[in-house]
Structure 1
Amino acid sequence: MKRKQNYKLRASALQISLALALTSISAVLFAASFGSPGGGTQVPGAEEPNVPVSTMAIDKVAPAVFNGDVRDLPQVPQTELARPELEPPFNAKQLLAEAHVPQPETPNIPLAPMPAPIQNFPGITRTDICTGGQCGAGTPPDTNGAVGRNHYIQAVNSAYGIYSKTGTLLASFTENALWTGSGTFCDGNGGGDPVVIYDALADRWILTHLAYSGGGSTGPFYQCIAASKTSDPVSGGWYLYAVRTDTGAAGQPPVNTINDYPKFGVWTDCLYYAANGFQMPAGSYNGGEFASFSRSDMYAGLPLTGALGFAASTSDFFTMIPSDLEAPVVGDYNGVPPAGRPNFYVQESLTAFNYRVRTFTPGTNCGGGGTLSAATTVSQTSYTGSGPRVPQPNTTNTLDTLFDRMMQKVQYRKVGSAESLWVVHPVQNSGQTNRPQWAQINVTGGTIATTPVQQQIYGPDSTLHRWMGSIAADIEGNVALGYSTSNGTSPNFPSIAYSGRLAGDPLNTLPQTETQLIAGAGSQTGTCGGSACTRWGDYASMSVDPSDGCTFWYTTEYYTSQANGSSNPPIWSTRIGSFKFPSCAAPTATPSAKLQRQPRLRLR
């Protein structure tokens, strides 16, 4: 029997178009950064007011409901994404870059190689055919993903792929296919910047992307949020929420504000969101956006309670990323934040060498009245610049690093009583290769320490550029950092690799040495919209398996041949791999631990 699909709109009077944006920016941010040894020194006159900001309630958003199997979604058009190059706010750290002497980097003393991959299989390719049409609809692919108890879901521009944990593709479908017939603005207006979230506390999935019409030159702008009805993302059905973000309401983004580079984190109470606001059609940065959405409403298919805030015309909110829970409960391991612990938002400062960490305390049921706190500054090792370009073999075309902005995900990990945030972003010192700077930020007891537990600008050699990183820690505190590698000499085409550390290794080092997931076979030399494609990745994603709390899963992009890299537009490929440290063992639940473990989210 053919599986039946069925859409219906629940509480249609409440079906609000509230929204969001597009374009993962390949920002031409800044060519160099300034600061002085000591990490927290600011450029004179660059300070901005450091004050808390409140959220205002959005009108409740009624869901459309997809009751079918995603393998039976219809074939619908998926428009090629033509993304404007949006200029980010001025980075004041560049003012005295040439006179700046960076702090010494921590040497990396190798101890052992990283473990070999357990799984290593192809993800979505640009020209693959998904349910709904061609999978790829933009460059770069914005590759990211998440791992659940039984599935791995990958997202690219502009499609999703659902895999078994042994690499079998179970279903793939475009953004527009999932939303077709929903009767919302997200129907037919998928705009990419997809994000996948697995909520281990509820055993549910969230797929989200932007929506806009007319190429994104004017609003409205929406965030399309799909929450799985069950733990089965293939045939269990989806609740579909179309949320408008350029509402124009007091304290919220002005009308025609496109929400670029949206990022999400799931917590014990809410789904948290942040994005960069740009006023369209001018494309000028006009502030940072942040929001909270009720998990309990989403998973019960109720009209969605949420709140949205906007910090106008301040670079201190540029590319904030909310913290995310990865494998929070495994056997008798309970890494759930204590009750009442707020979510943490982290930003790489544009005015000083530091991280800016805020807490977000939501209103009732994640609605209005929430507060994003003033920032606590956390010091970091200084550097002279970042990017903006990475060389490739056999071409003068270079790749964008996104300069020194924060990369997803910001992972919260609790080991014993110690609570930490793990973060990474790209940097570069004069005359050196691009390198990831990672840090462990102490947030034990909800107090943000102003000095990292440990940090490092990771450069195990002086030949390869390493960028587009993503970092995570397993339940024992072992760490894995994934990234892209390249240089201008063949055969060092853009490739995928990872390094790491065991919890007991010397601080400030990644002595578990680099292992390559796959070698790239081509440089990106094709054109996008008539000009050279320089953007790379925009996203990568390191996740921790909730089944054992030990296995890392990583995904990002590469090219399988020079012919694909030279195509107009380029035919990118993606890879999905997993690995674990042999010393990490999945805990088993004792009877007492079962009684004490965090209950799953109760659905109303």
Structure 2
Amino acid sequence: MLLKKILVLVSIFSITLGFSQVKKKEIKNASLISTATYMKNVEPMAGKKLIPGKPRKGKINPRRTDGNKIVPGKGSKGPDPLVKRQKSAQSIRASKAPTLIFEANTSTFSPSDPTGAIGPNHYVSAKNFEFAIHDRSGVELMASASLENIFPGESLGDPIVFYDSFADRFVVTQFSNSPNGFLVAVCQGPDPVNDGWFTYRFDTGSFPDYTKFSIWSDGYYVTANKDQNSLQNDEVVFVVEREKMLVGEENVKMVGFPLPGARIGGFYSPASFNAIGNTLPPDGDARIIYYQDDAWQGVTEDALKLWTINVDWINPGQSTIAESEELTVSSGAINAFDSTFDGGSFGNLPQPNDGQDIDVLQGAVMYATNYRRFCDYNAVVLNFPVDIDDRQDSDNVSGIRWYELRQNGDGQPWTVFQEGTYTSTDGKSAWCASMAMDVFGNIGMGYSTMGTTTNLATEDSFVSIRYTGRLVDDPLGTMTFPEETIAIGTAINNTDQNRYGDYAQLSVDPLDDQTFWHIAEYFEETGDNARNIVGVFKIASNVTSDVGVIKIDTPIDAVLATDETITVTIKNFGSSTQTDIPVSYSINGGTPVTELFAGPLSAGRTASFSFATPADLTAERSYNITAETNLTGDTTPENDCSSRDVRNLFSNDVGVTDLVAPQANGQFTAEEEITITIFNYGGSPQSNIPVFYSLNEGTRVNEVFTGTLASQESAIYTFTTTVNLLEFGEYSFQIGALLSSDEDTTNDVITRTIENAICAPTSDCAQFGDGITSFQLANVTNSPINCTTGYEDFTNDFIIQLNRSEEYTLTVQSGFADENESEQFSVWIDFDDDNIFEVSELVLNSQVITEINLDQSYALSLSGDATLGSHLFRIRAGDTNTNNGALLNEPCGSMQFGTTHDYTVEIVDEPVGPDPNIVTDLIVVSQPNNQFVITKTDPNAPVEERIYIFNIRGQIVASNLIRKDGNNTFTYELDMSFARSGIYFARLGNSKRNVVGFGVL
């Protein structure tokens, strides 16, 4: 038989551990379509003078918001229900010591962001601003050096390293905030020392904190802790064109998606499935996953929530994200979890010797969520930290809640196959884990541990790195290997932050697909305090007989023939040489064709095999080809097979895929060029292709692309005839390609709509601190202003109230100034409301900023006949020397260094607003059903403050950051309906003056 089914019954039985709730599911199209800002061809590391790492000052990658909003008393409490099962199964298996341990990096601070991956010949690792390359024995081939060596001029950090085994390429990433986005470097060959790099920048608008990268067949997927208050509408998940990046193409697209239906209200870190192993999944049906804790506001049950992404690179606007499964895991409280520590704050686990509490990384699905294909099912494993303290009023001990999800076939729903809560020995905390499956389905997991004794430092008390695992046929929900040690810490995290990690990473060796390589952070007493250590271990037992098809090599997408040769790659996973191996293939699930591969095939080796029996692939437009081995006595038949979808192309088929220019939103001219992308969907090269565009259903403009397009290639074409898009508003373009011999007209014509809107010029405000960092005028205080793209729209956040008969003081700060008085700013008010800032609307012209990060004041007054009502208010600041002076007063020009900020101004004749100097006490207003509204007005307070809710014992029951509004008022809505009756206290910030008590009935 072609496909083994021996595990299907186990999978069906295990569905009782998780089920999908039936509800209306939301689907959204991609809300962002863009291309890489640049592609740089970076020379190899070998023989190059490397730039040394330059540690940054200040906070390292500060999280941009606080944890999810906690409802005190709500959600699962008490001992974790899965701990007992784990403790009863611990150490069923004999211990397996690590085969290799080596230090990859050291650092003077934490989090050092340890990340690394193993390839056939190299181990590439990175820390926050550097990366290093070792051989497979841990010998350093390239000493730790700045990320600038592969990202010219940039070393902001938060790197991720991964090995794309399907392309034999290493990939290194980091984020950027100049402008906001992320950078991706793809090695040009398999050797990260001697091959160059294709380096790309992708802009994301707001800052993409805590990015995670994953491999899927149709792209590299990226999740980010971004736009926390609007993630159901703003882009927080991104996909970039993997295939183009692997070959260094410049026109690489990116699509961005929100998370529809997400119930998240603070820091969050979802994950995309990361394909490992030998066979890529089919295009599409990619999953994003995050957990939901019933202690969070708006969440009723502990659950795993999944979204499905389908990317259409030909028509990116048709790409979709949809709510998919929601797997309830707390039915009857049997498998409930408590992922909330200390009311949602980020200092949780006490260190020995009264060291400060460090971060348990709550709110994060830990990296990576590894996906692997087997013959009868697909599997993915994931984990996150949970509170397992027996005491309900204490959050000092962490365990690892882990899951294996299964899918009984491509396109089928995902279900919980098994779940467990892993606890470290002797009551230690376990957290910051990373896990994966080997080729047999065994699981390995590396993690951090720390003792719970705060005043006595024993061998096991400090942060240490350890691992465990389970074999595929072990009791479900348990890690059965005894805890093994990679490194024992000898000191606490002695930096001034409570951060830890932020990452650990376990990758699977591509040579045997069985050995795990884990990197994580611990602390030593001498030298650089934070150390990144790599531990190598194997869970699998030696297998004698196990072979499988790992790849279908031919045919590929083409105009297919009646006699296509099927060629596959076979691998011997076992320890003994194999001969006379039966190999089969089938087309679209039809009758198998079985032949014999004579061999010999040595242990660990691969071989190519071409079937003598060809296949007729001419009748359909697409085919699914499945191939497998059928060796007698094969130990693990689940890894015997591979499949591939192949398209039978039309010979002649050309269409258009995108409107490249004008961009979707911007300010356009009276002579705007129209640029489109043409794509050859067919199997034959094409030239002299007729193309057209029409505007707002008007007359078509017909021209001809005279170049030649090879099969499956695209080209950019710019029309010689321009259009007038000067007026503000929407414009609808129909664009198309009209090849006379075209055999499929469904892809010939598309429609795109763009809008001429207010300009939003970007600039660099991070490198030297240029631009406005603090703004105070009348009733509005906006401070500090974080640097993003250089442009910020505050029109909905702040309304400046001005009386046209009064004089005001505008107070600003900038992060840059010099003796040449080059840092200057100007202010416009759009009195005629035409969205254009004219010279006559310039109310402050080229004011000089002379001091760095200090308040500087300027007089601002309006004319007595200034137009009443609401208008746009724009302030631009920057380095006029670098920007050549004139750009400062070109309100839509992109400066090199500076900022542009927009506000709303309300101009009246009467006295306006409350006294901006009034400071109120912290006020708690009681509402029905134990709902409370907490407020405080303080113009001198920072724009963000942390609010704490304490019980009478002084324990934190809720904690969040809140931001004051345009009236300098902090507001926090608190749900105490689940809390026990008693007296509670609210505190805003760290001042004891900002404390108020209240009662819960």
TM-score by length of 2: 0.48
Q: Once the two structures are aligned, what percentage of the paired residues are identical? A: 24
**One-letter amino acid matched to 2:170:** W
Kindly indicate whether residue 237 of structure 2 is the aligned counterpart of residue 290 of structure 1: yes
Kindly indicate whether residue 350 of structure 2 is the aligned counterpart of residue 391 of structure 1: yes
Q: Structure 1 residue aligned with 2:203, among 231, 241, 244?
A: 244
- The whole-number CA distance in structure 2 between the counterparts of 1:231 and 1:386 is 42
Q: Structure 2 residue aligned with 1:422, among 381, 384, 396?
A: 381
Name the SS for the 1:439 alignment partner.
strand
Q: Structure 2 residue aligned with 1:107, among 85, 90, 97?
A: 85
Which structure has the larger Rg over C-alpha atoms? Answer: 2
Query: Which digits, 9 at most, give the CA deviation of each residue in 1:37-83, with x for residues without a partner?
Result: x98899xxxx9995223223213544110123256244367351523
Name the residue aligned to 1:342. Answer: 285
Name the residue aligned to 1:177. Answer: 149
**One-letter amino acid matched to 1:349:** Q
Query: Which digits, 9 at most, give the CA deviation of each residue in 1:451-510, with x for residues without a partner?
Result: 410000112545100000111010000101111000124222100000110011111111
**One-letter amino acid matched to 2:128:** N
1:577 CA displacement: 1.3
Q: Structure 1 residue aligned with 2:463, among 457, 480, 494?
A: 494
- The whole-number CA distance in structure 2 between the counterparts of 1:99 and 1:540 is 28
Kindly indicate whether residue 90 of structure 2 is the aligned counterpart of residue 126 of structure 1: no
Name the residue aligned to 2:404. Answer: 440
Kindly indicate whether residue 124 of structure 2 is the aligned counterpart of residue 143 of structure 1: no
- The whole-number CA distance in structure 2 between the counterparts of 1:552 and 1:519 is 19
Name the SS for the 2:468 alignment partner.
strand
Q: Structure 2 residue aligned with 1:357, among 306, 313, 321?
A: 306
Q: Say whether the 8 Å CA contact 1:425–1:469 is kept in structure 2.
A: yes
| Residue range with higher mean Cα deviation, 418-427 or 72-81 | 72-81
Q: Say whether the 8 Å CA contact 2:260–2:322 is kept in structure 1.
A: no
1:365 CA displacement: 5.9
- The whole-number CA distance in structure 2 between the counterparts of 1:429 and 1:295 is 40
Cα RMSD over matched residues? 3.4
- The whole-number CA distance in structure 1 between the counterparts of 2:608 and 2:161 is 29
Q: Say whether the 8 Å CA contact 1:201–1:600 is kept in structure 2.
A: no
- The whole-number CA distance in structure 2 between the counterparts of 1:410 and 1:549 is 17
Relative to structure 1, the CA distance from residue 121 to residue 312 in structure 2 (aligned partners, 3 Å threshold; closer, same or farther) is closer
1:448 CA displacement: 5.8
Q: Say whether the 8 Å CA contact 1:299–1:603 is kept in structure 2.
A: no
- The whole-number CA distance in structure 2 between the counterparts of 1:354 and 1:578 is 33
**One-letter amino acid matched to 1:336:** L
Name the residue aligned to 1:23. Answer: none
Name the SS for the 1:401 alignment partner.
coil
Name the residue aligned to 2:433. Answer: 469
Q: Say whether the 8 Å CA contact 2:404–2:416 is kept in structure 1.
A: yes
Q: Say whether the 8 Å CA contact 2:118–2:124 is kept in structure 1.
A: yes
Name the residue aligned to 2:994. Answer: none
Aligned counterparts, 1:4-403, within 5 A: 50-55=25-30, 56-69=32-45, 72-75=48-51, 78=54, 80=56, 82=59, 83-88=61-66, 90-91=68-69, 96-97=74-75, 103-108=81-86, 109=89, 110-126=91-107, 139-171=110-142, 172-180=144-152, 187=153, 189-213=154-178, 220-246=179-205, 257-278=206-227, 289-311=236-258, 315-316=262-263, 318-326=268-276, 328-329=277-278, 335-337=279-281, 339-340=282-283, 342-350=285-293, 351=299, 352-364=301-313, 367-380=316-329, 381-388=335-342, 389-403=348-362
- The whole-number CA distance in structure 1 between the counterparts of 2:182 and 2:99 is 35
Kindly indicate whether residue 364 of structure 2 is the aligned counterpart of residue 411 of structure 1: no
Name the SS for the 2:432 alignment partner.
strand
Name the SS for the 2:280 alignment partner.
coil
Paired residues, what number? 511
1:396 CA displacement: 3.8
Q: Say whether the 8 Å CA contact 2:358–2:499 is kept in structure 1.
A: yes
Name the residue aligned to 1:594. Answer: 608
1:309 CA displacement: 2.0
Relative to structure 1, the CA distance from residue 399 to residue 603 in structure 2 (aligned partners, 3 Å threshold; closer, same or farther) is farther
Q: Say whether the 8 Å CA contact 2:381–2:403 is kept in structure 1.
A: yes
- The whole-number CA distance in structure 2 between the counterparts of 1:541 and 1:405 is 14
- The whole-number CA distance in structure 2 between the counterparts of 1:494 and 1:89 is 23
1:210 CA displacement: 0.7
Relative to structure 1, the CA distance from residue 77 to residue 384 in structure 2 (aligned partners, 3 Å threshold; closer, same or farther) is closer
1:392 CA displacement: 1.8
- The whole-number CA distance in structure 2 between the counterparts of 1:397 and 1:323 is 34
**Highest relative contact order (Cα 8 Å, sep 6+), 1 or 2?**
1
1:121 CA displacement: 0.6
Name the residue aligned to 1:547. Answer: 511
Name the SS for the 1:125 alignment partner.
strand
Gaps of 5+ in 1: 1-37, 128-137, 181-186, 214-219, 247-256, 330-334, 528-532, 565-569
Aligned counterparts, 1:566-585, within 5 A: 571-585=529-543
Name the residue aligned to 1:513. Answer: 482
1:386 CA displacement: 3.4
- The whole-number CA distance in structure 2 between the counterparts of 1:582 and 1:145 is 22
**One-letter amino acid matched to 2:386:** V
Query: Which digits, 9 at most, give the CA deviation of each residue in 1:516-571, with x for residues without a partner?
Result: 111111111332xxxxx21111110011111111000100011122x55xxxxx73
- The whole-number CA distance in structure 2 between the counterparts of 1:94 and 1:484 is 29
Q: Structure 2 residue aligned with 1:478, among 442, 453, 465?
A: 442
Q: Say whether the 8 Å CA contact 1:103–1:382 is kept in structure 2.
A: yes
> Greater share of strand residues, 1 or 2?
2
Name the SS for the 1:452 alignment partner.
strand
Q: Say whether the 8 Å CA contact 1:307–1:370 is kept in structure 2.
A: no
- The whole-number CA distance in structure 2 between the counterparts of 1:450 and 1:266 is 19
**One-letter amino acid matched to 1:311:** P
Name the SS for the 2:106 alignment partner.
coil
**One-letter amino acid matched to 2:68:** F
- The whole-number CA distance in structure 1 between the counterparts of 2:148 and 2:477 is 45
Name the SS for the 2:608 alignment partner.
helix
Query: Which digits, 9 at most, give the CA deviation of each residue in 1:236-271, with x for residues without a partner?
Result: 00011111111xxxxxxxxxx111111111122211
